[in-house]
Amino acid sequence: MIVDFQFKFSIQQLNNSTPLNTLIVIPARYASTRFPGKPLALLGGKPIIQWVWERVSAMPVEAVVATDDSRILEAVKAFGGKAVMTRSDHHSGTDRCGEVLLALEAQGKHFDIVVNVQGDEPFVKQEQLKLLIDSFANPDVQIATLKKNINSDEELCSPNNVKVVAGIDDKALYFSRQPIPFVRGAEFKDWRQKQQYYKHIGIYAFRTEVLKKLIQLSQSQLEKSESLEQLRWLENGFSIYVKETAFENIGIDTPADLAIAEKALAENGISGQ
């Protein structure tokens, strides 16, 4: 059963005074290949999923954790969060967000925007969420996401850091696990002096009508090659607007990432808000 919500978040389109209602969905899967039970792993003494919930729920928006495991559902309820059970056969968090949206619409609720904040992003910032939501003041925006400048060769080379190239109109041209673009005629050590590189921050916002179309698409060849679902959307003609953030997120994919997050917590005194 989908939980009831209390808040609405409104922004104004440049040419439309109609408020845009926003829903934030936090997909949280228990059976992670690289880190089973990850959402319930403790960071600074509380579950990772609690960090994400506290940051997201501090926004004046409707929010819910979407999970396929009763252990996560009960943990979220225990710390006072809102959660709903979803199917276990989803291939992505986007699909899980789509299921929640359709269920809420069946209850008579209406949303203009859905934001997907993965349950392994304990340090997501409200400024980042607002940047995404505000981008829909442009009526041409179908999908919005974030990027941050890359400051080291190690970061540029790592296949775990997805790179993005966008046009002058802020629309994504391509995403890759490889360093892009290639700088012809230069040694790799000089690439960052000749070209600005950006890392993709995997938080997405969708117009609801676009999200409902995306979850109907079959996997594409580019998506399978890079293991990046956003390439499916580009291949099918959808535009992805990329906004730049100055904030570094620490996504947790492995136990090693959790150790890095613990160190950041200790060194920087990062709070739950």
E strands, the chain, in order = 22-28, 42-43, 46-47, 62-67, 83-85, 113-116, 143-149, 163-166, 172-176, 198-207, 240-244
DSSP state of 136: G
Q: What is the pLDDT of residues 238-250, one digit of tens each?
A: 999 999 999 988 8
Q: Is there a contact between 241 and 171 (Cβ–Cβ < 8 Å)?
A: yes
125: left (phi over 0), alpha (psi -120 to 50) or beta: beta
How far is Cα 51 from Cα 162, in angstroms, rounded to an integer? Answer: 24
Mean of all residue pLDDT scores within the chain: 90
More confident residue, 37 or 18: 37
Q: Is there a contact between 244 and 131 (Cβ–Cβ < 8 Å)?
A: no
Domains in the chain, please, with CATH? 22-267 (3.90.550.10)
Q: What is the pLDDT of residues 153-202, one digit of tens each?
A: 999 999 989 999 999 999 999 999 999 999 999 999 999 999 999 999 99
pLDDT of amino acid 139: 95
Q: What is the pLDDT of residues 146-165, one digit of tens each?
A: 999 999 999 999 998 999 99
